[in-house]
């Protein structure tokens, strides 16, 4: 006779899953799931590349310079600083949970993380290198050659593999475990009454029409200034720059609200310095609504429950350059 024990586990598991689904199914926000199916060697190599400033012309800027993993995956600046201290055109979005976005960059011009990763390396206003130079640098460093062989089966180093590895590392940068997700998963005590009231207001006011799904955003493009024009000096036109269609003017990817407490300042122009400012502006230009001060405070209290368990990142030890490694050129 077979033991009924495995059967019990299956039934219990099923009931738990159903209970979870029934909680979550009622809500427009889904819990963040832990990373799965990560290629560990590729991710480890990707972490080295993410932190390696030798992918920049100056030898000084890395992916982590603007997407700082000590600071919610952003630089917390209005717009970013690039090669030669150039002022960037737009606010750096967080790398945390960026794997959940429908596309990358504010205007969605990169289809995925892999395509995104190649952009800043060769952008003269950002890392100011070229793919050819970055690859020459990596090829000259024996330890990198070994790592690529270990990861991909042969020693070929090209931009496809570099960006593939960086994207794999970035896939690990998700933040499950927020208090809001604990609540979604059935822990009724995870949120205070005030935070819950904020969530109700967030839903009832319509914020959730754009900020939904696991990332609480990131899954649609929406017009910045839907019911009232957004006043800004920032020249970005959003999706229009990608599609050339008039209808896409000022359409931007809805940013994720996960860890939003850490990713200030807000909007593509970084104009909102605090969550309170951001909620106020969103109410006015997207919903045609002036939130009361207590209402604004409640929504902000809810938003702070979206801060998850941040990935614990140990700094990689980067392999030293070799005698024939192209020299960094910070001042040329």
Contacts to a second copy by CB under 8 A:
51-53, 58-60, 65, 68-72, 75-77, 81, 84-85, 87, 261-262, 264, 273-274, 276, 310, 312-318, 320-321, 323, 327-328, 330-331
Q: How near is the Cβ of 327 to a second copy at its closest, in Å?
A: 7
User: Which among 27, 126, 261, 293 is annotated as catalytic?
Assistant: 126
126 catalytic residue (yes or no): yes
Name the minimum Å distance from CB 124 to a second copy.
14
- Give 51-101 as a DSSP string: H-GGGSTTS---HHHHSBTTTTTB--SSS-EEGGGEEPSSPPPP-TTGGGS
Q: Which residues of 270-306 are buried (b: 16+ CB within 10 A; e: fewer)?
A: bbbeebbbbbbbbbbbbbeeebeeebbbbbbbbbbbb
Short-list 236, 211, 214, CA closest to 105: 236
* Closer of 86 and 243 to a second copy (Cβ): 86
Name the phi and psi angles at 154, rounded to 5.
-145, 170
CB of 206 or CB of 328, closer to a second copy: 328
> Based on CB atoms, which residue is closest to a second copy, 243 or 276?
276
Nearer to a second copy, 16 or 327 (CB): 327
CA–CA gap between residue 251 and residue 106 (Å, rounded): 9
Instruction: For residue 68, list its beta bridge partners.
Output: 74
Give the catalytic positions in this structure.
126
């Amino acid at each position: 006779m077979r033991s009924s024990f495995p059967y019990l586990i299956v039934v219990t598991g099923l009931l738990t899953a159903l209970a979870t689904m029934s909680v979550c199914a009622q809500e427009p926000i889904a819990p963040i799931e832990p990373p799965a199916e990560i290629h560990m060697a590729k991710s480890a190599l990707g972490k080295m590349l993410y932190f390696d400033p030798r992918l920049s012309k100056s030898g000084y800027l890395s992916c982590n310079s603007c997407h700082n993993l000590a600071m919610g995956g952003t630089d917390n600046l209005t717009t970013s600083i690039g090669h030669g201290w150039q002022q960037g055109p737009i606010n750096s979005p967080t790398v945390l949970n960026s794997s959940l976005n429908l596309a990358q960059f504010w205007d969605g011009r990169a289809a995925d993380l892999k395509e995104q990763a190649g952009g800043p390396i060769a952008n003269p206003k950002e890392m100011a290198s070229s793919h050819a130079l970055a690859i020459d640098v990596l090829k000259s460093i024996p330890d990198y050659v070994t790592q690529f062989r270990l990861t991909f089966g042969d020693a070929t180093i090209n931009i496809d593999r570099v960006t593939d590895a960086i994207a794999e590392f970035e896939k690990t940068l998700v933040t499950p475990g927020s208090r809001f997700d604990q609540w979604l998963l059935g822990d009724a005590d995870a949120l205070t009454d005030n935070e819950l009231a904020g969530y109700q207001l967030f839903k009832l006011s319509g914020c959730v029409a754009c900020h939904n799904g696991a990332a609480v955003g990131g899954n649609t493009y929406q017009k910045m200034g839907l019911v009232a024009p957004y006043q800004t000096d920032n020249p970005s036109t959003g999706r229009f720059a990608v599609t050339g269609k008039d209808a896409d003017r000022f359409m931007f990817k809805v940013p994720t609200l996960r860890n939003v407490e850490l990713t200030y300042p807000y909007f593509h122009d970084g104009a909102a310095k605090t969550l309170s400012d951001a909620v106020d502006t969103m109410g006015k230009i997207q919903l045609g609504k002036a939130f009361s001060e207590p209402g604004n405070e409640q929504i902000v209290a809810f938003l702070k429950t979206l801060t998850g368990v941040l990935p614990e990142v140990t700094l990689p030890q980067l392999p030293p350059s070799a005698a024939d490694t192209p020299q960094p050129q910070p001042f040329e």
